[in-house]
Amino acid sequence: MFDESDRTAVADAVTEMLTTGALTLGPWTERFEQAFAAEHGASHAVAVASGTAALEIVLRTVDVRDRDVVVPAVTFYATAAAVLHAGGRPVLADVDPATLALSPRTLEAALTPATAAVVLVHIGGLITPDVDGLRAVCDRRGIPLVEDAAHAHGSGYQGRTAGSFGLAGAFSFYPTKVTTSGEGGMILTESAELRDEARIYRDQGKGSFATNHHVRFGASWRMSELNAAVGTVHLRRLKEFVETRRRVAQRYDAALAALDGIRPIVEPAGCRSNYYKYVALLPPGVDRAVFKRAVAEEFGVRLSGEVYDLPLHQQPVFGPYRGAPLPVAEDVCARQVCLPVHSDMTEDETDQVIEAVSAVHGRLAG
């Protein structure tokens, strides 16, 4: 969502950079980094080409080569793919049904003597209240906790923001995210050493921008100035966007509380989700495809894609890393739906969704 003033600001920025000729690693990248770090209370930010690149760079700085990295089974392909690209082995773990995130129990069950790192994913923008417990497990083992915060712009827990609970947080600015740069990602960290390493990795592993002396096996992970300008402009509206989404979610919470059987993933005490996704679990036995088709055809409501409909250990590409069954992940992925939520959603649109979900649920679930 870019209003007229946003579009004007971006157009002015593009004119500026085309006039100066600074198209990569220039002043807009620095502005975006500073603004995003300030928004999340972080000391350092490094803008990169994607959220996947952000996560891989962090894992490369940790050096997970030929070692294990614990990843929740309920996450996007890229979380585990980044581990593999960084030279590690993903160990897929089950999740807590209340938050769709790792819990200390599921993490302990997945740790091995070769564990090099743990990736905590904030699904739908919700930071689990177990985050401090997860960090404690990692600290006891001397293992870094890395946050996959692709969904979690502006999310928080007990006054702290996403990206501040582990060694580093990796964010995505894909077009569907609460704030976007078109394409891009960001690393947040308190470590000046990790910041410096990330800057090297994002620019083909060069020791400095002006030389061709390569000191790391990096890649072309730079964010263009055009993307940085778009992200800087859009970020100014993050608080507004989050407040709109939270108002929608509060109305959904109240409506679903009156329905027997459908269970939303509710926000625990102390948590403040950005509601990138509003996730609810259908009752066992209700056919998700039939449910989604009915709300679309009968009420004109299209439910967005799940997060996610197939857990990682059942994805064909991760077959070699499939271990024991992960029953919670399998159950929640089979039953979850995401109710529409967007940053300029109206009360009438929210009412339309509530009417559709209530009617179809009542018929299908009896």
pLDDT tens-place string over residues 41-77: 999 999 999 999 999 999 999 999 999 999 999 999 9
Name the pLDDT band for 109 (thresholds 50, 70, 90): very high
| Confidence at residue 3, expressed as pLDDT on a 0 to 100 scale | 95
Give the C-alpha separation, 323 to 102, whole Å: 17
**What mean pLDDT is predicted for residues 142-152?**
98
Instruction: Tell me which of 171-180, 332-341, 357-366 is least confident.
Output: 357-366
| pTM of the predicted protein model | 0.96
Mean pLDDT of 356-364: 94
**Which residues on adjacent β-strands are paired with residue 137?**
none
Helix axes 225-235, 4-20, angle to 10 degrees: 150
> What per-residue confidence (pLDDT) applies to 365?
80
The single-letter DSSP state of residue 125 is: G
What Å distances lie between residue 107 and 72, 73, 120, 130, 363, CA to CA?
9, 11, 10, 11, 39
Q: In what order do the strands lie in the sheet with 336-339?
A: 263-264, 278-281, 336-339
Q: Is 314 exposed, middle or buried (0-12, 13-18, 19+ CB in 10 A)?
A: middle
Quick check: 366 pLDDT over 90? Answer: no
Distance CA 185, CA 208 (A): 21
The 3-class secondary structure across 179-214, one letter per residue, is CCCCCCEEEEECCHHHHHHHHHHHECCECCCCCCCE
HEC string of 71-89? EECCCCHHHHHHHHHCCCE
Judge whether residue 223 has pLDDT over 90: yes
Which residues 6+ apart lie within 8 Å of 197 measured at CB?
57, 60, 61, 216
Of residues 40, 41, 75, 47, the one with CA closest to residue 277:
75
Quick one: average pLDDT of 303-321?
A: 94
Place of tokens 């960290």: 189
